[in-house]
Amino acid sequence: MDSSLPRWQLLPKLGQEREGEQQLSLRGVAASPGIALGRAYIVGTETAASSGQQPRTAEQEWERYRWALEQLLQELDAAQQVAQREAPAMASVIESYRLMLSESALQETVQRSIAQGSTAEEALRAALEPTIYRLRFSSDAVLRERAVELEQFLRQLVALLRNRMPQRSCARNAVVVAHALTPSDVVLFHQAGAVGLVTVVGGITSHTAIMARSLGMPAVIGLRGALSLIRVQELLVVDGYAGVVIVRPNAETLARLQRHQSRAQWRIQLAQRLARIPAQTTDGYRVRLLATVASLQDVEDALVAGAEGIGLVRTELLVLQRRGVPGEEEQYAWYRQLCQGMGEAPVTIRLFDLGAEWREAIPVLERNPALGMRGIRYMLRHPELLRAQLRAILRVAAEGFTLRLLLPLVNSAEEVRTVRQMLRELALELGYRGRLPALGSMVETPAAALGAAKLAEVSDFLSIGTNDLTQYTLAVDREHELLAEMFDPLHPAVLELMYRTAQAARAKGVPVGVCGELASHAAATELLVGMGIEELSATPGALVPLKQRIRQLSRAAAQARLERLLSGCCSNGV
Ligand code: PEP
Ligand code: MG
């Protein structure tokens, strides 16, 4: 989830509870959707400060360190095995931390400090903190999140040095509340039966949040007061849709929760029944429901939910997980696997939207990464990278799969033309005989939305990325923990740009879809149908509720409602 969207929250809003009631609502950032109820299991914080123990010899300190590291590496092995089964795309993340922590350079630095008289804790801190500080003060949100994860590994090693082993088995049916969690913590707590997660720090693109989403564990992060306001064993409701945690829920909240859970149960049964019927309004307007995926597991979920194809593959997650850009062969194998999972249904591969993730692999100094070298502008400046990706896509298409290609952060028709020309040249080079994959432009900037007619002339389809369109229209960082309230994809200015895009595309006869988070929210579906959106690409878990919603709507009524809304906004001077 990119943002907390208060209008869709299922539970009481902040401040709704009356004086004297015990219930407390705390707002954080929605990191993994779903609702969980459980008692708080608080993970103790262990500062990396010196332990104040009796002096030991250097050999003893080194032995302590080796023992603690061995314990942690065993944990990571266990977590990796579980991840391989339950969130395969994320297993490599754990492996990368395992490699980092067992690197010989790190061991040598620790050993040297210990030989010079440091305790194991001090040596560890001296070895890891420079990297943590460098990452923490980076201008890049993704790198700052790596700092949080690495710091958490440091805390765990310190806890192990003090013989404080994590008691994960006690977290069964509980909500884990922690300052921060590592991706391996998430896997192991999930395996121990924990039902939800709450952390004080962290961002939605952290590995920890991605892991929670992959495992289907509701999570709220960035909840600053969590450790001071939540006590051990207190009953908590984690609303991972709205980014709200309710402490000591009252009877009314619990009843609402129960209704939600029986609805969820009902939805599962309905999913099987609805999977094969079309997403069509009462007056016959057909919407194509596609899934947004980042892993093979997501593809399976998409199929179960009756997806008619894949509307967005976030390929850059492959880069993030491998900590580097994969070559043509690896991409070919991955795209092929995705397509095999979907059979004849279309699969929309987005060109790498390489922003912060890429810079982790090869540092590039950028003062403002969101406005910098990312998306199609990055790819066009790195033709070798672009060629490798296009070749991999063409090779899979040559095997008869229906592939579509999507260009991220397009600002001009010229960018699309250049890619199309390159695609033609590569097709010749490869002896490709079939139809070229359809080429789509993402509409993610106000410039693209206002220039949608021009984009539609050179594109085979348009897909509105509401996450970035909201960020760039409202000038609100989509990952800013303190501005989550202002990040509103239903802001009239954003709606107006989407509407113009849809109208421009329809006028040119080019299909238009939405692939940002807004597509997943049934509460927004009426507006999207009203605009004439023809495709929605949503998380697999959202597809069934979306289909139900679409089947209740009338396109004519939705359009009239949208037009009333937009004219009301304009006359109010928005
Ligand atoms: C978007 O911006 O809405 C989108 C779908 O792309 P991403 O979230 O990957 O930037
Ligand atoms: Mg985007």
Q: Are residues 115 and 154 in the same domain?
A: yes
pLDDT for residue 140: 66
pLDDT for residue 82: 87
Q: Is residue 132 part of a domain?
A: yes
Q: Are residues 137 and 207 in the same domain?
A: no
CATH number, domain of 234, equals 3.50.30.10
Q: Domain span at residue 471? A: 271-359+366-569
pLDDT for residue 321: 62
Q: Are residues 416 and 514 in the same domain?
A: yes
Q: Are residues 399 and 501 in the same domain?
A: yes
Q: Are residues 320 and 348 in the same domain?
A: yes
In tens, the pLDDT along 76-92 reads: 999 988 888 877 767 77
Pick the last residue of a domain from 131, 161, 191: 161
pLDDT for residue 1: 33
- Probe residue for ligand 1, chosen from 444, 479, 521 as the CB with the greatest number of ligand atoms within 8 Å: 444
Q: Is 444 in the pocket of ligand 1 (CB under 6 A)?
A: yes
Computed over its alpha carbons, how large is the radius of gyration of the chain? 25
Q: Is residue 384 part of a domain?
A: yes
Q: How far is the CA of 241 from the centre of ligand 1 (A)?
A: 18
Q: Are residues 483 and 546 in the same domain?
A: yes
Q: Are residues 208 and 354 in the same domain?
A: no
Tokens 């940002």, residue located: 516
Q: Is residue 4 part of a domain?
A: no
User: For residues 313 and 334, is the Cβ–Cβ distance under 8 A?
Assistant: no
Q: How far is the CA of 283 from the centre of ligand 1 (A)?
A: 31
Q: How far is the CA of 107 from the centre of ligand 2 (A)?
A: 40
Q: How far apart are the C-alpha atoms of 355 and 367, rounded to whole Å? A: 12
Q: Are residues 172 and 146 in the same domain?
A: no
Question: Could you count the other beta carbons within 10 Å of the beta carbon of residue 16?
Answer: 11
Pick the last residue of a domain from 161, 194, 224: 161
pLDDT for residue 326: 87
128 token code pair = 């890891």
10-residue averages of pLDDT along the chain (574 residues): 33 41 85 89 68 76 94 91 78 85 91 94 93 81 79 90 80 93 89 94 76 86 91 93 91 88 70 80 97 83 87 83 80 89 91 69 66 91 95 95 96 98 97 94 98 98 97 90 85 96 97 94 94 95 90 96 82 41
Q: Is residue 257 part of a domain?
A: no
Closest ligand to C-alpha of residue 312 is 1
Q: Is residue 2 part of a domain?
A: no
Active site includes 515? yes
Q: How far apart are the C-alpha atoms of 326 and 148, rounded to whole Å? A: 26
Q: Are residues 275 and 300 in the same domain?
A: yes
Q: Are residues 383 and 500 in the same domain?
A: yes
Q: How far apart are the C-alpha atoms of 22 and 328, rounded to whole Å? A: 58
User: For residues 474 and 494, is the Cβ–Cβ distance under 8 A?
Assistant: yes
User: For residues 131 and 150, is the Cβ–Cβ distance under 8 A?
Assistant: yes
In tens, the pLDDT along 54-65 reads: 678 999 999 999
CATH number, domain of 428, equals 3.20.20.60
Q: Given the CA of residue 2, which atom of ligand 1 is nearest to it?
A: 8
pLDDT for residue 84: 81
CATH number, domain of 82, equals 1.10.274.10
Contacts of 3 (CB under 8 A, 6+ apart): 29, 30, 470, 478, 484, 487, 488, 489, 517
Q: Are residues 352 and 379 in the same domain?
A: yes
Q: Is residue 380 part of a domain?
A: yes
pLDDT for residue 16: 39
Q: Are residues 291 and 193 in the same domain?
A: no
Pick the last residue of a domain from 113, 146, 161: 161
What secondary structure letter does DSSP report for 20? T
464 token code pair = 């509105």
pLDDT for residue 134: 86
E-assigned strand segments in 242-371: 244-247, 288-293, 310-313, 347-350
Structurally, how many domains does the chain consist of?
Answer: 3
Catalytic member of 179, 190, 207, 521: 207
